[in-house]
Structure 1
Amino acid sequence: MNTIRVLVAEDQSLVRGALIALLNSEPDIEVAADCATGTEALRLVQEQPIDVALLDIEMPGLNGLNVAKELAEHPCRCLIVTTFGKAGYGKDAMEAGVDGFLVKDTPPEQLAEAIRRVHAGLRVIDPTLARDSLLAPDNPLSQREAEVCRHLFQGKSSPAIAKALHLTPGTVRNHISSIMSKTGADNRFEAAHLAKANGWI
C-alpha cells in the first residue's frame, strides 16, 4: 500500500493537532509536515515530497487559496479544509483550481476519503457549498479594494489603512467609497461585514 504524504497547514494548534492525530490513524496516510502559516506551507511543499496539502483558508501570511494558486503547477494536490463554508470562498477556491474544498465539520472518515480521492486525481467539493457557490454573485471587489476592506473589517481608520498599504488617504477614501457602492452598504463597517459574510475578503 502506497502511503499518502500529507501536509497539514492550520493556524489553530488544537485543530492542527486533532487533524494530525486523525490522519495518522489511517493506515495509508502519513502527516509528513505541519505548520501554522501559508508562507511556511509553501516552503515545506517545495522542500520535500508532499502528495496532498491540507490548507486552511484564513492563516497568517499567505492564505490557503493563495498557497493553492502558487502550487497550481506543482504535483502536490491541494485540499481546502475550513470553518468558513461561505459560497464566496467556494467560488474562489474552484477558480483557484483547488482539488478539494471541505468544511471542518465533515465527518472524519469523509475527510480521509477525500484525501484519497484528491490524491487519485479527483476533485472533491462539499455538495452544499458547490450548490451555493454556483448561485453566489461574483466578487465585485478589485484586489486592492479587498485589501482595504480587510483592514476595514479589522476596524482600522483611513489614515491607518493608508499607512499600512502605502497609499494616500484620498486614495483610501476613494476605495472605501467604491466598496460601499459595490456592496450596497450604508457605511464602511457594514460594507466590510457584508464582504466578509460573502467570502469576498
Structure 2
Amino acid sequence: MLLKNFSDFSLEAGTDEAGRGCLAGPVTAAAVILPNEFTSTLLNDSKQLSEKNREKLKPIIESEAVTFHVVHLEPEIIDNINILNASIQAMQNCIVNLSPTPEYIIVDGNRFKPVNNIPHSCIIKGDSKYLSIAAASVLAKTYRDEYMDRIHEEFPMYNWKKNKGYPTAEHREAIKKYGVTKYHRMSFRLLPEQLKLEL
C-alpha cells in the first residue's frame, strides 16, 4: 500500500520523470498534488503497471488531482545540459507550473535542485512508496509514450511505437541502417563502439 504523505504539509507535490535512458525523444517529467482523500488500489510505480492500467489511471489522476503539470524537454536541451540536469529542469518546470503552489516536494531518485525555496526531499524508489510520486510517474510515462507514438508516424523505421526510444537491438539496428534523426540525443552513445556512425 502506497503512503499518502512524506511531510506534514497538505499541499505536497510528488514529481518524477520518464525516458531518461532513451536514445531518442524527450525526457518527460510530471508533478502532481493529490487530495488527502485520494485512494487507489491500482496505482503503483508506472514500471510495475501494464500499459492498459497506466492508461486507465491517467484520466483518474488528471480528474482527481488538486493540480498537475507535465513537461517535455527536447533532445537539443538534453545534449546541451546533459540528461541529469535536463531531468531535474523538467521536474522543476512542472513544479513552478502547479497552482496552487506546493508547500513541500517529494522527488523520485536522489538528485534535485531547490525550486522557489520550496522544501524538498529525494526518495529512492519513491514511485513505489508514495502515491503522488507514483501518480507523477504514470503521467510522465503515458504522456511520453503518446509523444513517441506521434513521432513514430514521422520515422516509422525506428519503431518508436514499440521501443519508445529505448536502446533496444532493433532501435540500434535502425540507427545503423538509417542514421540519426532530429529526435536522437547526439550526446548519447547511439551505437556500441564497434558500430561507429558516419556523421
Normalised by the size of structure 2, how large is the TM-score? 0.28
Larger radius of gyration: 1
Please report the TM-score for the alignment, with normalisation by the length of structure 1: 0.28
Higher relative contact order structure (alpha carbons within 8 Å, sequence separation ≥ 6): 2
Point out the structure with the larger helix share: 1
